Amino acid sequence: MATFELLVNGVRRSVDNVSPDTPLLWVLRDHLGLTGTKFGCGMALCGACTVHIDGTAQRSCSVAVSKAVGKAIVTIEGLAARDGALHPVQQAWIDEDVAQCGYCQPGQIMQAAALLARTPKPTDEDIDRGMNGNLCRCGTYQRIRKAIHTAADLAAGEARNPANIASPAAVPGVAPLPGAPKVASEPTDAKKGKKKGGSQ
């Protein structure tokens, strides 16, 4: 067990009581509360856990936390600008209404953002090569392809007509059951962002 200093989304984070072979995925999710990065297969086969490490898209399920020290890690939560302005890929994903269940999409978006960083105007063949490792069980690939082209246009400041009418952003969460006892609640920041009651 050891303590690791990580640079995640531009912020220095310290995690302790972690074995060096722990995949970065679980450090992000379980220790840092960054649950946007998803677990899909644990073998770098599906791409749901894709993050950027020093600007390269990598499968965080197969990168030991010890190998991520000293590198700049960006997760889906850190892709938008500090002021909340969405990355062109995120905006394009909304404009093209890409997601169905949405579970693989953080990984798809991180992969697409890395692709566009290297290839600002990708061809269909570039997209085929760049996105081949990210699985989507809902089958949103046709929209992913279109959204990557849209994102490229957005990044270049080109005019566009979104295919869909934007919907208001829903407030996440669920309604409590009338008549049911209240959920034993602790301050919400205990739920988000902080290390949950794991390694004591």
Partner 1 sequence: MKPSSVRAAARSNEIRDFESNTSAMKTTQLASDGALTGAEGLSRRTFLQRATLAGGGLALAFFLGREEAFAEAAAGGAGNASGGPADGFTPNAFLRIAADGNVTLISKNPDLGQGVRTAMPMIIAEELCADWNRVNVVTADVNPAAYGSQNAGGSNSIYANWDRLRQAGAAARTMLIAAAARQWGVAAAECTARDGAVLHAGSGRRASFGSLVEAAAREAVPDPKTLTFLSKADYRLLGRRLGSVDARAIVTGRQEFGIDQVPPGVRVAVFAKAPAFGAKVASANLDAVKKLPGVRAAFVLEGNGTLDELAPGVAIVADTTWDAFGALDKLEVNWDEGGAAKDSWKAAQEAAEKLDPNGGKEAKKVGDPAAAFASAAKVITGTYACPYVAHAAMEPQNCTAHWRKDCVMEIWAPTQNPTPGRQAVAKLLGLPLEKVVVHMVRAGGGFGRRLFNEYMVEAAAIAQRYEGPVRLVQTREADFAFDFYRPGSFHAFKGALDGRGRLTAWQDHQLTFGNDGKPVRAAAIGAELFPGPLVPNFRLSHTLLPTGVPTGWWRAPVSSAEAWALESFLHELSVAAGRDHVEFLLELLGEPRWLTPGNPGTLHTGRAAAVIRLAAEKGDWGKPLPKGHGRGIAFHFCHRGHFAELAEVSVDEERRLRVHRVVVAGDVGPIVNRSGAENQVEGSVVDALSVLCLQKMTFEEGRAQQSNFHDYGLLRLPQTPRIECHFIESDYPPTGLGEPALPPLAPAVCNAIFAATGHRVRRLPLIDDGFKVT
Determine, following the binding rule CB under 8 A, whether residue 183 of this chain makes contact with partner 1.
Answer: yes
Determine, following the binding rule CB under 8 A, whether residue 151 of this chain makes contact with partner 1.
Answer: no
Burial class (CB in 10 A: 0-12, 13-18, 19+), 180: exposed
- Using CB under 8 A, pick the residue from 4, 32, 37, 59 that binds partner 1: 37
Total of chain residues touching partner 1, rule CB under 8 A: 91
Q: What are phi and psi of 2, to 5 degrees?
A: -150, 170
Closest among 45, 7, 43, 46 to 28, alpha carbons compared: 7
For residues 46 to 65, the per-residue mask of contacts with partner 1, x marking binding by CB under 8 A and - elsewhere, is x-x-----------------
Least distance in Å: CB of 46 to partner 1? 6
3-state secondary structure of 4: strand
For residues 115 to 134, the per-residue mask of contacts with partner 1, x marking binding by CB under 8 A and - elsewhere, is ------------xxx-xxxx
Question: Which 71-110 positions form the footprint of partner 1 (CB under 8 A)?
Answer: 75-77, 79-80, 86, 90, 93-95, 97, 99-106, 109
Please give the Cα distance from 116 to 130 (Å, whole number). 9
- Using CB under 8 A, pick the residue from 7, 13, 39, 67 that binds partner 1: 39
Alpha carbon separation from 101 to 84, 123, 152 (Å, rounded) = 23, 27, 24
3-state secondary structure of 116: helix
β-partners of residue 72 are: 7
Determine, following the binding rule CB under 8 A, whether residue 142 of this chain makes contact with partner 1.
Answer: yes
Stretch that binds partner 1, among 52-60, 66-74, 115-123, 158-166 (CB under 8 A): 158-166
Determine, following the binding rule CB under 8 A, whether residue 15 of this chain makes contact with partner 1.
Answer: no
Determine, following the binding rule CB under 8 A, whether residue 7 of this chain makes contact with partner 1.
Answer: no
- Using CB under 8 A, pick the residue from 122, 140, 152, 154 that binds partner 1: 140
Burial class (CB in 10 A: 0-12, 13-18, 19+), 41: middle
